[in-house]
Structure 1
Amino acid sequence: MTSIKTKNAVIHFNKEVYVELNKYIKATKPSNIFVLVDTNTHEDCLPSFLAELKSGEIIVEVMEMPEGEDHKTIDICTGVWEALSDYNADRKSLMINLGGGVVTDLGGFVASTYMRGIDYINIPTSLLAMVDASVGGKTGVDLGTLKNQIGVISEASMVLIDTAFLDTLPPQQMVSGYAEMLKHGLIYDKNYWETLLNFEKLTLSDLDDLIYDSVVIKNKVVTEDPGEQGLRKILNFGHTLGHAIESYFLGNADKTPLLHGEAIAIGMILEAYLSNKTTGLPDSELKAITDGILKTFNKVDISLNDQKFIFNLLKHDKKNSHGIVKFVLLEAIGKPKIDCQVENDLITEAFEYYNSQN
């Protein structure tokens, strides 16, 4: 696969990733290398990665964090910063983030702020991180249950996508990443969306090509608007309500936490309904989106009481300005519209629509 150039870096795929990584290390000669993993990737991914890494005389230190979104916190960052300091990391050190979106988001933030910034490389191991989290330079951590409230935009030196790591994922994690791929189709390319609808029939070769296409879509959007002043906002389709739902389920002890993609899938149906009522998304496309998503994602019970808390979380969405909640909606599949305002009564209707689905 042809490597993809971003504004400041390059994304490499499969056979090329370790060749390019070792060339980079040989050329840049980092003072030392730090590999951040979580408890899962330490066991499932680190051995095969280290077998490919050619560091020569450069010392390689492995740092492990707990797995899961609830550990994407400043406290964990502090532990990693302290570990870097204890191991005498300097401004010529290199950090490699080997993991899913939590590892690449948090590791990128740590690297971007340690000594005002050291080089880092993302090696995403989950489908979600491959198509979304590790591409585009958004780094950060959660503030309590509020998603990604603390962070900076800072691109990795390289992103290395080796789809062999997908063999280590449970099915639920694969489905979570699939949601972001569906989003890329809905906001950018109707043909891509329709190709994805037969997810369960796709071969590994098909998936490789679709991952590549998803990265191309995201990179085009990010390259045109790196600071999220306009076009890049379209990547938030499904995320205004989806993030609020994810935060609510994560912070409520009576609820089973949702994976990111599971919450975004709900958000996309809700925001498709809002689109149908406000920006002209045709009835047929609302039905296609609803049916297409529920074909793979299980319905989740969201009561009126749940909705009250979710509404309250909307005010923390990062797209808001001057206290106004702003949505990305669709005029048609592949035709998004940014900075849309919606009445609360219509959001309640959207939840009623979602809950009414079989």
Structure 2
Amino acid sequence: MDSIISDSYAVHFNEGAFKALNAHLSEKKYSTVFILVDENTHELCLPSFMAEINGEHNFEIIEIESGETNKNIDTCIGVWEALSELGADRKSVMINLGGGVLTDMGGFIASTFKRGIDFINVPTTLLSMVDASVGGKTGIDLGNLKNQIGVINQPVMVLIIPDFLDTLEERQVQSGFAEMLKHGLIQDPLYWDTLKTVNGLKEMKDHILTSIEIKNNVVLQDPTEQHIRKILNYGHTLGHAIESYLLNHGTKEMLLHGEAIAIGMILEAFLSHKLLGLELSSMHDIKTTFLERYTKIEFANEDIDNLLKLMKYDKKNSHGKVNFVLLKKIGEPVADIEIPVELFKQAFAYYKE
């Protein structure tokens, strides 16, 4: 695969990724190379990653606990303290080896430590490869509210090693695939139709490059999300509310990001039909495609009421209004759509049918 040039950095693939990394480390001669891992990537990815690094470098490994529940300021404080204790300075670099939670948080930690040190992202999940790899969004959750604290800051480079995906459980793979399907829905009807026929991780790997290119093309036009970049949030307004609600419910099972976003895309397809005239056949196509891959979740009326309250904290809102990205048709999104309250419960009723 060829490298993809993003804003101020490149996304490198496979052997080219290690070639670019080794050249960069040799040139920069960092005082310390910190590698941020969780317990999973420490065991399953770090050994093979280290085996590909050439030259003599001063390495330090910092491990955090995996999972969205640890994407918070307390974890950041622990890493900042570890960096200080291990002598990190502004000539250090941090390599974030993990999924989207780790790369989001690692990027935020590096961007704020001593007012910013270099960081390199090595996404190890399908979700982080096709979503978190491009755009420079870093951040953490505030309580049960997703991604409320953070900055947009670009990494030095991003390295995509598809073999790391072989370490994932099937559920994690499907979570990432939801974002790939979203790329088709917002930009490319033919890509959407192609992905609907994809079966298994081997076939998914063949389309990683296309998904990254789609997101990168959008981000390059709008790095700080003032206009067109908003379309990447299709399915995320309701999806993030669902993810946040279940994350802290206590008795209900948590959903992975892509699982929650899949529900959000079904709900927002219904809203698209009602408000923008998305064809009935397209609405049903979206619902059928996602329900074939993702388990349907039961929402009581009380759950729905609580979800709607959570939406007011969505970071895409402005002037007290909840703003949605909807589809006029597949491949033609429209941003900043305000939804009449009565349509939300109708959308959930459609999901339940």
The normalised TM-score by structure 2 is 0.99
8 Å contact from structure 2 (residues 173, 201) kept in 1: no
8 Å contact from structure 1 (residues 137, 154) kept in 2: yes
Superposed, 1:122-271 pairs within 5 Å as 122-200=121-199, 204=202, 206-271=203-268
The residue number in structure 1 matching 2:112 is 113
8 Å contact from structure 1 (residues 179, 265) kept in 2: yes
What is the RMSD of the two structures over their aligned residues, measured on CA atoms?
0.8
Counterpart of 1:331 in 2: which secondary structure? strand
The residue number in structure 2 matching 1:323 is 320
Unaligned runs of 5+ in 1: none
Deviations 1:16-53 (A, max 9, x none): 11111001100111111000001111111111111112
Q: Which amino acid aligns with 1:155?
A: Q
Give the 3 Å change call, closer, same or farther, for CA 300–203 of structure 1 in structure 2. Answer: closer
Counterpart of 1:147 in 2: which secondary structure? strand
Superposed, 1:3-82 pairs within 5 Å as 3-56=3-56, 58-82=57-81
Whole-angstrom CA distance in 1 between matches of 2:181 and 2:308: 25
8 Å contact from structure 1 (residues 187, 234) kept in 2: yes
Whole-angstrom CA distance in 2 between matches of 1:17 and 1:142: 30
The residue number in structure 1 matching 2:349 is 352
Greater mean alpha carbon deviation, residues 9-18 or residues 171-180:
9-18
The residue number in structure 2 matching 1:342 is 339
Whole-angstrom CA distance in 2 between matches of 1:19 and 1:86: 31
The residue number in structure 2 matching 1:278 is 275
Identity, % of aligned positions: 56
Q: Which amino acid aligns with 1:278?
A: L
Deviations 1:120-150 (A, max 9, x none): 0000000000000122100000001100000
Return the offset for 1:199. Answer: 2.5
Return the offset for 1:208. Answer: 2.9
Counterpart of 2:61 in 1: which secondary structure? strand
Q: Which runs of 4+ in 1 moved over 6 A?
A: none
Whole-angstrom CA distance in 2 between matches of 1:242 and 1:207: 22
Return the offset for 1:75. Answer: 0.3
Counterpart of 2:12 in 1: which secondary structure? strand
Unaligned runs of 5+ in 2: none
Whole-angstrom CA distance in 1 between matches of 2:55 and 2:256: 35
Deviations 1:150-196 (A, max 9, x none): 00000111000000000000000000000000111000001111111
Return the offset for 1:14. Answer: 1.1
8 Å contact from structure 1 (residues 272, 329) kept in 2: yes
Counterpart of 1:339 in 2: which secondary structure? strand
Whole-angstrom CA distance in 1 between matches of 2:201 and 2:321: 44
The residue number in structure 1 matching 2:301 is 304
Counterpart of 2:206 in 1: which secondary structure? helix
Return the offset for 1:303. Answer: 1.1
8 Å contact from structure 1 (residues 105, 134) kept in 2: no
The residue number in structure 2 matching 1:85 is 84
8 Å contact from structure 2 (residues 178, 258) kept in 1: yes
Deviations 1:189-222 (A, max 9, x none): 011111111222x562x43331000000000000
The normalised TM-score by structure 1 is 0.97
The residue number in structure 1 matching 2:289 is 292
Return the offset for 1:280. Answer: 1.2
> What is the aligned residue count?
353
